[in-house]
């Protein structure tokens, strides 16, 4: 006999098969590739709701383990065993917390389009639209976006692009500012490796990511306001000294200040910013942008001391003696490398870094003073090098009035380190770029530069850098006449101010992971360690700041090893279905004008351009990780840090329910259309009634009842005045207290309810749950099952009142969403009052049938009406007849109790006293007539549910009464309702062939026939009707109510 089974596929058939196997005693694993069970092709809500009980029961069956998002990689047979290897991906939304409120979906900026059918959905979604099992959201993640993976600064690139595409510019800027301190600067000068990795390169051109970043940064600056909230200093942490106000040093200061560390930055230059201030010209990075972003760091409490270099007057020992707990070295690399060529000492030979610094520190319009200082010579210049500094120097020289500027580079343009767009802009302005040319000698005349002797090159095999090695071409020498030579072949750090202990042999030794030097408490990063771009320096600063923080807290150094990230890209098939879209280009100043001014060359996108350009994003990873859903989720159900699990399952049986396109080994069994399993006898899927429900009933009548009203995260509160409702409820008899809670079905809400209810005799919860029955019906959801489970319906929870001392009223679908606000308030008050009355009406009623021996006359009526075979006429020890209950067979429908002539039978959690109290509470004292609608817990209840979900408003003067089954209704109860003044009675239940119990509709028809005959005899007119409701047929239910209301109103 097999003991373990694996079912591949969570279709309805697969779920039913799994439940049959579990009911037969097997331990079952159900694997489903999607986040949801069912995978139904739905025509309408009734199709779905009919499947809800099976699907929800699967998630709570103790012998059935369900794994959604399961990617099956291997299925093999080993002897008599089947082995399945699977990667179970997270859904990123906790089913134990999600309330399905939809607020995450409302803020999600990613819309996935399905080209085949034109359908769309957000990255966070649930399906089908009305119900999903589990009835919670899931987030689709294909992996990590290539743009985000390639960003050294850790910006969630796809996230800010998605937000811009939705016009949410402020949120996009905030997302960038969470990752880096310089959004506006990086929006101008970043070397944008993200664009190189953009999947749109495979289709047309990459998304203009840098320009989009600049757009939102500029817009945020225009709107004003603080960028980051100030954090009070942590007195337990000592201050930190940062040497150098460049991108690495300022990033360290920014990170530490946001962690509550006091930071002082010491800068040798008269301006802050490092190479951003003195190495990047103003036409690329306007000084007001630099000052603005540094001011934002100062606003965090960071002190910046200018003109304060590290040296004889300020040493590392001095800093530690002043109380600094750690020192960060961000000295930068401000010293240019030499060409080591003859003639390099001639007047007119300058270093690019020195030239750019002199220009940056000089007042505007100071070409004459720069010429007087020797920074400008003659009218012609040659710049040697191919990096950004070389191109910057060349473009600066044109703006300072030189007539001819050439850039010499020994490799081809393809190998030039400078940004391609900067090279192109330089050429537009008149800079001549000569590739495959190397200087061999600088020729002088009277001690000044007169020419450069050059040699042409060709490319050979790659060198250690990975680029093609330049090889001189013999006999290719030529001479370029020039007045000055600018050397731009790279920079290096000046380490002369550092002690030998951290610079053995003149080389700064740094742990590449933590940034720690040889001296405890001293850290370094940025250009002083290795040449870096601005964004790379930011990344290094962030990493080292975290190391410094660990050091200050006394924690062990922890190398940061990023988790392996699967880069998501569209498949060739997906790309083939996508249209090619032109890339938006920012406006630029005309070349003729800009070559003489330092005005910023590239301007910002317009809002329309930004949205258009951002909309070109392919959403490679689907979820953009903008984390807007996290901010919107009040239930705190979203966890983007979840990770996949590799799992191996073994079983004796393997069943294929069509969930995977796999070649299965011999012996795998197919699942039938309705979940039939060859290894298990055919039969219905069981309805679970755990043994805990058969605990002894407390024979008490609650006198003091507490009422709790759930805001449902705002969904109920938005449609129903809960404060007014609470005020009126406090005046009702037996109501000891009324409280409003935010969300009852989340762990915190359940804990709040449990604590508040522990001293009460009875409790009413007005929320979205609707009954205290330990069963899953058509209208159930993950949240309702979770709520009732947390409050002890299925098993006892601490000191909570037992489940039969709880009443639930659905204030959402069956009240607030069914009537106008004014009528909904009246209905809610009546329904809650009725619930209180039920609790106070008499001893609690069990779920499973129970016999009161003192009242039972053993007439056998209950045996005759019980179609489940749970009752039989037996005998006691003395041979006297008595009714016996076979609890395992009882369906808790309550039919036996309804027809017992002496009232000796109790079942279904509601007794005659409770039903009469309900009717009494729902019928007005002023004689106004109302239509009472008795709902079975299955078809009738689901009709109301669907009507509420789709906002199908009901007429006034209608009140709803829920019973486990219409078979629970007795002729006497219906007659008393009419005598009490009910204008009419409508019985709404299942079709006879769809009754969950198999007989409820038939029994109800018999009751209705008896009552109709009596009504006619009494001359009360026709006031009764019955309607069959398909599961989830809200339209049909509402139509039946309207017809009955009109019909009975004409009497």
Whether the pLDDT of residue 1014 is over 80: the answer is no
Look at residue 408 in the predicted model and tell me its pLDDT.
98
Burial of 266 (0-12, 13-18, 19+ CB in 10 A): buried
Whether the pLDDT of residue 731 is over 60: the answer is yes
Whether the pLDDT of residue 387 is over 60: the answer is yes
Task: Decide if 717 contacts 724 (C-beta within 8 A).
Answer: no
Distance, CA of 1019 to chain centre: 63
Residue 133 forms beta bridges with which residues? 37
DSSP labels, 379-413? SEEEEE--SHHHHHHHHHHHHTT-SEEEEEESS-G
How far apart CA 387 and CA 275 sit, in angstroms, is: 14
Whether the pLDDT of residue 688 is over 50: the answer is no
Look at residue 341 in the predicted model and tell me its pLDDT.
95
DSSP labels, 94-114? -TTT-----HHHHH---EEEE
How far apart CA 524 and CA 241 sit, in angstroms, is: 12
CATH T-level assignment (fold) for domain 923-1051: Rossmann fold (3.40.50)
Whether the pLDDT of residue 800 is over 50: the answer is yes
For the stretch 928-959, what's the b/e string if a residue is b when 16 or more beta carbons lie within 10 angstroms of its beta carbon? eebbbbbbbbbbbbbbbbbbbbeebebeebbb
Average pLDDT over residues 631-642: 94
Residue, of 406 and 530, whose pLDDT is higher: 406
Lowest mean pLDDT among 271-280, 307-316, 352-361, 904-913: 904-913
Name the band, by pLDDT with cuts 50, 70 and 90, for residue 928.
low
Name the band, by pLDDT with cuts 50, 70 and 90, for residue 54.
confident
The Cα angle at residue 107 between residues 126 and 584, in degrees rounded to 5: 115
Class of domain 4-89+644-670: alpha beta
Look at residue 382 in the predicted model and tell me its pLDDT.
98
What lies within 8 Å, CB to CB, of 79 at 6+ separation is none
The 10s digit of each residue's pLDDT in 422-456 is 999 999 999 999 999 999 999 999 999 999 999 99
Portion of the chain with pLDDT greater than 70, in percent: 93
Beta strand ranges found along 299-403 (DSSP E): 303-305, 326-329, 335-336, 349-351, 380-384
Residue 95 forms beta bridges with which residues? none
Average pLDDT over residues 731-749: 91
Look at residue 696 in the predicted model and tell me its pLDDT.
42
How far apart CA 439 and CA 428 sit, in angstroms, is: 24
Task: Decide if 532 contacts 338 (C-beta within 8 A).
Answer: no
Whether the pLDDT of residue 683 is over 60: the answer is no
Burial of 889 (0-12, 13-18, 19+ CB in 10 A): middle
Name the band, by pLDDT with cuts 50, 70 and 90, for residue 690.
very low
Helices 388-399/352-361 angle, 10° precision: 50
Map out the domains of the chain as residue ranges.
Answer: 4-89+644-670, 240-334+496-552, 359-492, 923-1051
Q: Is CATH 3.50.50.60 what the domain over 359-492 is classified as, yes or no?
A: yes
Look at residue 689 in the predicted model and tell me its pLDDT.
36
DSSP labels, 171-239? HHHHHHHHH-S-HHHHHHH---HHHHH-GGGGTS----HHHHHHHHHHHHHHH-S-SS------TTS--
Whether the pLDDT of residue 365 is over 60: the answer is no
Task: Decide if 134 contacts 782 (C-beta within 8 A).
Answer: yes
- Quote helix, strand, coil % in the chain, to nearest 5: 35, 20, 45
Burial of 488 (0-12, 13-18, 19+ CB in 10 A): buried
Residue, of 565 and 827, whose pLDDT is higher: 827
Look at residue 998 in the predicted model and tell me its pLDDT.
74
Q: Say yes or no: do domains 240-334+496-552 and 359-492 share a fold.
A: yes
How many C-beta atoms lie closer than 10 Å to residue 565's C-beta? 13
How far apart CA 991 and CA 999 sit, in angstroms, is: 10
Whether the pLDDT of residue 167 is over 90: the answer is yes
How far apart CA 483 and CA 380 sit, in angstroms, is: 5
Residue 1041's nearest CA partner among 970, 983, 981, 996 is 983
Residue 195's nearest CA partner among 206, 181, 184 is 206
What lies within 8 Å, CB to CB, of 592 at 6+ separation is none
Residue 1041's nearest CA partner among 1022, 1027, 1023 is 1027
DSSP code for 687: P
Look at residue 1 in the predicted model and tell me its pLDDT.
66
DSSP code for 347: B
Look at residue 912 in the predicted model and tell me its pLDDT.
85
For the stretch 823-832, what's the b/e string if a residue is b when 16 or more beta carbons lie within 10 angstroms of its beta carbon? bbbbbbbbbb
Q: Is CATH 3.50.50.60 what the domain over 240-334+496-552 is classified as, yes or no?
A: yes
- Going across the sheet that includes 931-936, the strands are 958-963, 931-936, 984-989, 1024-1028
Look at residue 804 in the predicted model and tell me its pLDDT.
66
| Pairing, β 124-125 against β 138-139 | antiparallel
Whether the pLDDT of residue 135 is over 60: the answer is yes
Look at residue 692 in the predicted model and tell me its pLDDT.
32
Look at residue 336 in the predicted model and tell me its pLDDT.
87
Dihedral through CA 549, CA 552, CA 557, CA 559, nearest 10?
10
Helix, strand, or coil here: 328? Answer: strand
Backbone angles phi and psi of 782, in degrees to 5: -55, -40
How far apart CA 828 and CA 725 sit, in angstroms, is: 8
Average pLDDT, the chain: 89
Backbone angles phi and psi of 6, in degrees to 5: -120, 130
- Going across the sheet that includes 404-409, the strands are 349-351, 484-487, 380-384, 404-409, 432-435
Look at residue 1019 in the predicted model and tell me its pLDDT.
65
Name the band, by pLDDT with cuts 50, 70 and 90, for residue 686.
very low
How far apart CA 391 and CA 403 sit, in angstroms, is: 16
Name the band, by pLDDT with cuts 50, 70 and 90, for residue 577.
confident
Residue 216's nearest CA partner among 295, 258, 274, 155 is 155
């Amino acid at each position: 006999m097999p003991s373990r089974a694996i079912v591949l596929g969570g279709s309805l058939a697969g779920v039913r098969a799994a439940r049959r196997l579990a009911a037969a005693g097997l331990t079952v694993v159900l694997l489903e590739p999607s986040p949801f069970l069912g995978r139904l092709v739905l025509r309408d809500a009734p199709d779905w709701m009919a499947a809800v009980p099976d699907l929800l029961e699967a998630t709570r069956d103790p012998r059935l383990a369900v794994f959604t998002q399961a990617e099956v990689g291997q299925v093999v047979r080993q002897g008599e065993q089947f082995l399945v290897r699977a990667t179970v991906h997270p859904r990123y939304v906790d089913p134990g917390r999600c309330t399905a409120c939809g607020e995450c979906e409302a803020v999600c900026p990613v819309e996935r389009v399905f080209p085949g059918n034109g359908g769309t959905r957000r990255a966070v979604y649930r399906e089908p639209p009305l119900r999903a099992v589990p009835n919670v959201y899931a987030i689709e993640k294909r992996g990590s976006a290539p743009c985000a993976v390639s960003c050294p600064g850790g910006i969630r690139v796809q996230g800010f692009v998605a937000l811009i595409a939705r016009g949410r510019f402020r949120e996009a800027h905030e997302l960038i500012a969470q990752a880096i301190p310089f959004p506006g600067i990086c929006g101008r000068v970043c070397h944008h490796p993200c664009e190189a990795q953009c999947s749109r390169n495979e289709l047309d051109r990459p998304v203009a990511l840098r320009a989009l970043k600049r757009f939102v940064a500029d817009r945020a600056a225009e709107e004003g306001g603080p960028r980051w909230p100030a954090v009070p200093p942590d007195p337990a942490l000592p201050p930190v000294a940062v040497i150098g106000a460049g991108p690495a040093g300022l990033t360290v200061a920014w990170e530490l200040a946001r962690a509550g560390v006091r930071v002082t930055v010491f800068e040798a230059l008269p301006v802050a910013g490092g190479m951003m201030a003195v190495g990047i010209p103003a036409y690329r990075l306007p000084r007001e942008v630099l000052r603005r972003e540094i001011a934002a760091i100062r606003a965090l409490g960071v002190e910046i001391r200018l003109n304060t270099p590290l040296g004889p007057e300020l040493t590392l020992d001095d800093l530690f003696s002043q109380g600094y707990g750690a020192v960060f070295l961000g000295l930068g690399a401000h010293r240019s490398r030499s060409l080591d060529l003859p003639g390099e000492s001639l007047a007119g030979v300058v270093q690019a870094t020195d030239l750019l610094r002199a220009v940056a520190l000089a007042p505007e319009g100071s070409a004459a003073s720069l010429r007087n200082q020797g920074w400008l010579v003659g009218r012609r210049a040659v710049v040697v090098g191919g990096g950004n500094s070389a191109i910057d120097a060349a473009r600066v020289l044109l703006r300072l009035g030189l007539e001819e500027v050439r850039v010499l580079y020994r490799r081809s343009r393809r190998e030039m380190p400078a940004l391609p767009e900067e090279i192109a802009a330089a050429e537009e302005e008149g800079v001549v770029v000569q590739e495959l040319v190397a200087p061999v000698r600088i020729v002088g005349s009277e001690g000044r530069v007169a020419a450069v002797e050059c040699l042409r090159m060709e490319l050979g095999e790659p060198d250690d850098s990975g680029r093609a090695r330049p090889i001189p071409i013999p006999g290719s020498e030529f001479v370029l006449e020039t007045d000055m030579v600018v050397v731009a072949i790279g920079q290096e750090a000046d380490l002369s101010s550092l002690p030998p202990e951290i610079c053995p042999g003149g080389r700064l030794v740094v742990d590449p992971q933590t940034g720690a030097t040889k001296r405890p408490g001293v850290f370094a990063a940025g250009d002083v360690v290795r040449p870096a771009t601005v964004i790379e320096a930011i990344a290094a600063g962030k990493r080292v700041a975290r190391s410094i923080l660990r050091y200050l807290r006394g924690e062990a150094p922890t190398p940061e090893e990023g988790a392996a990230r699967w880069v998501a890209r569209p498949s060739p098939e997906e790309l083939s279905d996508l249209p090619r879209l032109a890339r938006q280009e920012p406006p630029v100043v005309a070349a003729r004008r800009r070559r003489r001014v330092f005005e910023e060359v590239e301007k910002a996108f317009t809002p329309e351009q930004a949205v258009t350009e951002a909309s070109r994003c392919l959403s490679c990873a689907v979820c953009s990780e903008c984390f807007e859903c996290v901010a919107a989720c009040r239930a705190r159900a979203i966890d983007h840090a979840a990770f996949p699990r590799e799992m191996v399952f073994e079983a004796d049986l393997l069943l294929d329910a069509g969930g995977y396109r796999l070649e299965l080994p011999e012996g795998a069994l197919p699942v039938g259309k309705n979940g039939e399993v060859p290894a298990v006898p055919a039969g219905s899927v069981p309805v679970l009634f755990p043994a805990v429900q058969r605990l002894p009933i407390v024979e008490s009548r609650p006198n003091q009842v507490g009422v709790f009203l759930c805001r449902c995260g705002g969904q109920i509160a938005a449609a129903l005045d809960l404060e007014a409702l609470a005020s009126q409820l406090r005046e009702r008899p037996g109501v000891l207290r009324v409280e409003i809670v935010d969300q009852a079905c989340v762990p915190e809400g359940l804990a709040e309810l449990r604590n508040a209810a522990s001293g009460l005799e009875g409790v009413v919860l007005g929320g979205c749950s609707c009954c205290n029955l330990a069963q899953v019906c058509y209208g159930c959801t993950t949240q309702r099952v979770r709520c009732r489970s947390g409050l002890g319906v299925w098993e006892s929870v601490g000191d909570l009142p037992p489940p039969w001392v709880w009443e639930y009223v659905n204030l959402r679908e069956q009240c607030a969403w069914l009537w106008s606000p004014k009528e909904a308030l009246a209905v809610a008050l009546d329904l809650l009052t009725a619930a209180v009355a039920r609790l106070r009406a008499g001893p609690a009623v069990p779920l499973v049938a129970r016999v009161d021996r003192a009242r039972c006359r053993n007439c056998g009526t209950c045996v005759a009406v019980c179609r489940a075979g749970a009752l039989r006429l037996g005998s006691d020890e003395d041979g006297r007849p008595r009714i016996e209950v076979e609890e395992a067979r009882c369906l808790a429908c309550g039919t036996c109790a309804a027809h017992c002539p002496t009232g000796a039978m109790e079942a279904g959690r509601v007794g005659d006293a409770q039903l009469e109290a309900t009717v009494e509470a729902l019928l007005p004292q002023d004689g106004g007539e109302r239509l009472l609608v008795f709902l079975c817990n299955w078809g009738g209840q689901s009709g109301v549910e669907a009507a509420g979900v789709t906002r199908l408003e009901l007429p006034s003067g209608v009140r709803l009464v829920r019973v486990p089954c219409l078979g629970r209704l007795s002729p006497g109860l219906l007659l008393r309702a009419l005598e009490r003044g009910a204008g009419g009675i409508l019985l709404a239940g299942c079709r006879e062939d769809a009754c969950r119990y198999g007989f409820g509709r038939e029994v109800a028809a018999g009751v209705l026939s008896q009552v109709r005959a009596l009504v006619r005899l009494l001359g009360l007119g026709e006031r009764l009707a019955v309607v069959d409701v398909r599961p989830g047929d809200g339209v049909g239910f509402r139509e039946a109510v309207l017809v009955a209301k009109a019909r009975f109103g004409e009497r």
